[in-house]
Amino acid sequence: MVLSRTARIICPSFWKGFKSSKSHLPFITAGNGEHKALTTSSNLWYPRGVRPKVQRSKQSGYVEQVQSWNFSEEEEKGEAAKTEEETELHKPVMLEEIMSIFQPSDNQVFLDMTFGAGGHTKAILQSNSLTKVYALDRDPVAHRLASKLADKYKSRVFPLLGRFTDLDKLLKDAAVQHQSFDGVLIDAGCSSMQFDNPERGFALSEDGPLDMRMDGSRVPSTPSAADVVNNLDAQTLARIIRTYGEERLAKKIAAMIVDYREKHKPIETTAELATVISFAFTHRAAADSKDSLGRKLHVATRTFQALRIFVNDELNELHHALHTIKPYLKKGGKLAVLTFHSLEDRIVKRFLQGKNVNEKGKSLHERKRSHDWTTDEEELKSPDWQIVNKKVLCASEFEVSQNPRSRSAKLRAAFKL
């Protein structure tokens, strides 16, 4: 299976790299010239010693974290008009497969942990008029859409604003008890609304401020992609780019970034970063840069992906989400998780197997060599979950042709025992 082969290639060096070593913690210089060590709250999913929990750099200064979010009247009008258009741009991925797993019936309650443009939530609401959906998103723009949907579907949609790591508190505040949900969906990563808006700083296609935070406006104290590329040392940047972007030229790209910012100026926009990254590629390497569909891929795509995952702490968030949600699912309740990166899929697979995510898995070949005759099916047995699809599900050829974003989607689903 392609997936496990990919995981095996990445993981040996990956796991070594993730061992904790506080002596390697890099420093970041704050606005007042003070040096701050990057703090580590968990070593799980980070290249050694690297954590995104840094104070903002001299570009952005220190800003207090805000808990709630309110649009001004003017912003509200603008955002509403914009988001109406933007929802059209995000096509829900593997919708049919997910709906055939959930099969919503009367009075069932669902949790959509990644509301986005609400594509999956709407399908649940429309499939049965007696269903209810709790809709979480960390992005205030998505939350705003969920609130609008709540107005339309009275008493059936409950918007929640926050991250996976806030979910437990949010559910407790909403008086949601354990064993409440019949189905929980995670559709990891970013929405097209985020990717395609140059002001959010995710996009390669159009220039914009180098931000990439899904909730930077709500939690401005978290570092943006500009903070990361302008402050971390070359070795740390290379680890991030290699691990999260699976980029072969990570070291060279990191060196180019550091060289540029030292000789010229801090990198401030997406186009500026893309240009600096392209210096690391020969004409030939650039011409060979293709995605899994064989389409031309911008040479900066993998580095952008790595920075996005790092800035939003995506792997730790996913790991946290899975553990948080388990007690909130009813017995027999269904969990469906869509991921777009091999490391994310690995977290989900390990979680469903009831294994420690840090444990190195054995390939079938390795199992046979060590006279471990466990079959692939037995490997997937778990004391807590009945796994729906033994093999990871991928989007159909037709869906990929309609929505190229679905090409790297991997769907895993399970019933809670």
Ligand X SMILES: C[S@@+](CC[C@H](N)C(=O)[O-])C[C@H]1O[C@@H](n2cnc3c(N)ncnc32)[C@H](O)[C@@H]1O
Binding site for ligand X (CB under 6 A): 90, 92, 114, 116-120, 136-139, 142, 163-164, 187, 189-191, 214, 317
What are the structure tokens assigned to 12, written together? 């040996």
Q: What are the DSSP E strand ranges found in 258-318?
A: none
Q: What is the rounded distance in angstroms from the CA atom of residue 282 to the CA atom of residue 104?
A: 52
Q: How far is the CB of 22 from ligand X (least distance, A)?
A: 26
Nearer to ligand X, 189 or 208 (CB): 189
Nearer to ligand X, 4 or 406 (CB): 406
DSSP H or E segment with residue 13: helix 2-17
3-state SS, residue 172? helix
DSSP H or E segment with residue 385: strand 385-387
Q: What is the rounded distance in angstroms from the CA atom of residue 61 to the CA atom of residue 29?
A: 10
CB 283 within 8 A of CB 289: no
Q: How far is the CB of 334 from ligand X (least distance, A)?
A: 16
Nearer to ligand X, 139 or 272 (CB): 139
Q: How far is the CB of 111 from ligand X (least distance, A)?
A: 11
Nearer to ligand X, 97 or 187 (CB): 187
Give the orientation angle of helix 270-278 with respect to helix 250-263, to 10 degrees.
120
Nearer to ligand X, 272 or 317 (CB): 317
Nearer to ligand X, 136 or 228 (CB): 136
- A 10 A CB-CB count for 261 gives 15
Q: How far is the CB of 12 from ligand X (least distance, A)?
A: 28
Q: How far is the CB of 341 from ligand X (least distance, A)?
A: 12
410-416 β-sheet, strand order: 157-161, 132-137, 109-112, 181-187, 329-339, 410-416, 385-387
Q: How far is the CB of 414 from ligand X (least distance, A)?
A: 19
Q: How far is the CB of 416 from ligand X (least distance, A)?
A: 21
Cα–Cα distance list, 19 to 6, 44, 327, 356 (Å):
21, 8, 29, 15
Q: What is the rounded distance in angstroms from the CA atom of residue 139 to the CA atom of residue 307?
A: 18
Q: What is the rounded distance in angstroms from the CA atom of residue 268 to the CA atom of residue 207?
A: 10
Nearer to ligand X, 214 or 228 (CB): 214
Largest CA distance in the chain: 67
Query: Which one-letter amino acid corresponds to residue 194?
Result: Q
Closest CA to 109 of 323, 329, 417: 329
Q: How far is the CB of 325 from ligand X (least distance, A)?
A: 12
Nearer to ligand X, 118 or 201 (CB): 118
Task: Say if strands 27-29 and 35-37 run parallel, antiparallel, or are unpaired.
Answer: antiparallel
CB 200 within 8 A of CB 108: no
Q: How far is the CB of 186 from ligand X (least distance, A)?
A: 8
Residue that has been written with the tokens 């669902």 in this structure: 110
Nearer to ligand X, 252 or 308 (CB): 308
Q: How far is the CB of 296 from ligand X (least distance, A)?
A: 24
Q: How far is the CB of 408 from ligand X (least distance, A)?
A: 12
Nearer to ligand X, 202 or 260 (CB): 202
Q: What is the rounded distance in angstroms from the CA atom of residue 383 to the CA atom of residue 239?
A: 35
Q: What is the rounded distance in angstroms from the CA atom of residue 402 to the CA atom of residue 390?
A: 26
Nearer to ligand X, 4 or 197 (CB): 197
DSSP H or E segment with residue 366: helix 364-369
